[in-house]
Amino acid sequence: MKSFLSVLSFLTLVVNLSANVLVVEGNFQNKNIYVQNSFGANGVGFCTTEIKVNGKITTDEVNSSAFEIDLSAMNFKFGQKVVIEINHKNDCVPVVLNAEVLKPRATFEIVSININSAGFLQWTSKSESGSLPYVIEQFKWNKWVTVGEVQGIGSPDLHNYSFQIVAHSGENSFRLKQVGIGITPKVSSVVTINSKIEKTHFMITKNHRAIQYSRETNFELFDAFGTIVKKGFGKQTDLNNIAKGKYYLCYDNQVSEIKKRK
């Protein structure tokens, strides 16, 4: 079911209708496109009138109830941008059966990854099959937390990337993740550094209107049911609109149970 929904979401993004042209965009993944082609509303002739791929008219045979757009015959490189224009009659619309095969897959390979002295996560990768974001994750609060994104270039060549990290006290671990077609993400190896930053401390003000930290920190506040009620970065968490009760506070690289009494 998840796979179907991901495909449906993808089709919504890349298939556009305008002026009797059905447009499908994506990246070549060594797969061809299949089209279901109805008759026109008056029953004379088929719906599709012409196919263009990257602006060039193709020789694909469109006078049948279903046909194939042969991308493999066009000498595309793996991951190359593809724009398909399906011209059709006014009173009908052909159906693209497998547009999802143009969605990039997470195929990157990490050549090198490190964190330099200026606090930048740097990596060199290759074998990308389309422009997908690299999601940067940091391990803290007993889970992998997304801390940023860098858009991948999307070609198989070597590419260099960097991202400014925000370290917490103690051991810091980072990794990269990409999600393409399908539901299984691809993740990199983990890179780890030890920070000399002092451990962060917190206190709840006497009036229970705020949590104050000894230095600026990322924080998340969860209620007793695991629902996040506050999230941010700074030296204080405002509690004015928070009901009294038990909460779990994630900050720096620590998790603490707290109680709001007022």
> Are 20 and 67 contained in the same domain?
yes
Cα separation of 159 and 143, whole Å? 29
Structurally, how many domains does the chain consist of? 3
Indicate which CATH number applies to the domain containing 73. 2.60.40
Q: pLDDT tens across 58-85, in order?
A: 988 899 999 999 999 999 988 888 999 9
Q: Are 221 and 141 in contact (CB under 8 A)?
A: no
> Are 129 and 219 contained in the same domain?
no
Say what the pTM is: 0.74
> Are 86 and 9 contained in the same domain?
yes
Containing domain of residue 126, as a range? Answer: 109-195
> Are 137 and 86 contained in the same domain?
no
First-to-last alpha carbon distance for the chain, in angstroms, is 45
H or E element at residue 12: helix 2-14
> Are 31 and 87 contained in the same domain?
yes
Residue 80 CA: distances (Å) to CA of 71, 111, 156, 195? 11, 21, 9, 41
Q: Which two tokens stand for residue 85?
A: 């224009």
Q: Which two tokens stand for residue 62?
A: 């469109």
> Are 188 and 212 contained in the same domain?
no
Q: pLDDT tens across 202-259, in order?
A: 999 999 999 999 999 999 999 999 999 999 999 999 999 999 999 999 999 999 999 9
Q: Which of 110, 94, 77, 89 is nearest to 33 (CA)?
A: 94
> Are 244 and 207 contained in the same domain?
yes
Residue 22 CA: distances (Å) to CA of 16, 36, 40, 69, 88? 6, 13, 15, 14, 8
Q: pLDDT tens across 117-171, in order?
A: 999 999 999 999 888 999 999 999 999 999 999 999 988 899 999 999 999 999 9
Cα separation of 141 and 150, whole Å? 23
> Are 144 and 181 contained in the same domain?
yes
Last residue of a domain, one of 142, 168, 195: 195
DSSP string, 96-134: ES-GGGGSPP---EEEEEEE-TTSEEEEEEE---S--EE
